[in-house]
Amino acid sequence: MLKLLNLLKDGRFHSGEALGAALGVSRSAVWKQLQHLESELNLTIHKVRGRGYQLAAPLALLDAQAIASFAAGEQWPVFIHETIDSTNAEGLRLAGGGQSAPFLVLAERQSAGRGRRGRQWVSPFAENLYYSLVLRVDGGMRQLEGLSLVVGLAVMRTLQAFGVKDVGLKWPNDVLVRGQKITGILLELVGDPADVCHVVLGIGINVNMQANDQVDQEWTSMRREVGVAIDRNRLVALLSQQLQHELARHRRYGFAAFQEEWEQAHLWQGRNVSLIAGSTRIDGVVLGVDGQGGLRLEVDGVEKSFSGGELSLRLRDDS
Contact in structure between 172 and 262 (CB atoms under 8 Å): no
- Paired sense of beta strands 103-110 and 78-84, if any: parallel
Three-state DSSP class for residue 174: strand
47 marked among binding-site residues = no
110 marked among binding-site residues = yes
86 marked among binding-site residues = yes
| Beta sheet of 196-205, edge-to-edge order | 78-84, 103-110, 129-138, 196-205, 180-191, 174-177, 167-170
- Check 116, 165, 224, 281 and give the catalytic one: 116
Kindly provide the residue ranges of all beta strands, DSSP E only, lying in the chain, ordered along the sequence: 45-48, 52-55, 78-84, 103-110, 129-138, 167-170, 174-177, 180-191, 196-205, 272-277, 280-289, 295-299, 302-306, 312-315
Considering only CA atoms, which of 319, 315, 298 is closest in space to residue 171? 315
109 marked among binding-site residues = no
Contact in structure between 181 and 168 (CB atoms under 8 Å): no
- Check 181, 223, 234, 252 and give the catalytic one: 181
Rounded Cα distance between 177 and 156, Å, is: 10
Considering only CA atoms, which of 214, 3, 216, 218 is closest in space to residue 123? 214
Is 116 annotated as catalytic?
A: yes
Three-state DSSP class for residue 167: strand
Q: 169: buried, middle or exposed (CB in 10 Å: 19+, 13-18, 0-12)?
A: buried
Kindly provide the residue ranges of all beta strands, DSSP E only, lying in 206-309, ordered along the sequence: 272-277, 280-289, 295-299, 302-306
- Check 117, 119, 314, 316 and give the catalytic one: 314
The size of the chain, in residues, is 319
Is 181 annotated as catalytic?
A: yes
88 marked among binding-site residues = yes
44 marked among binding-site residues = no
Is 157 annotated as catalytic?
A: no
Three-state DSSP class for residue 211: coil
**DSSP designation for 99:** P
Which amino acids are annotated as binding site, given as ranges? 86-88, 110, 114-116, 181
Which amino acids are annotated as binding site for biotin, given as ranges? 86-88, 110, 114-116, 181
Which are the catalytic amino acids?
116, 181, 314
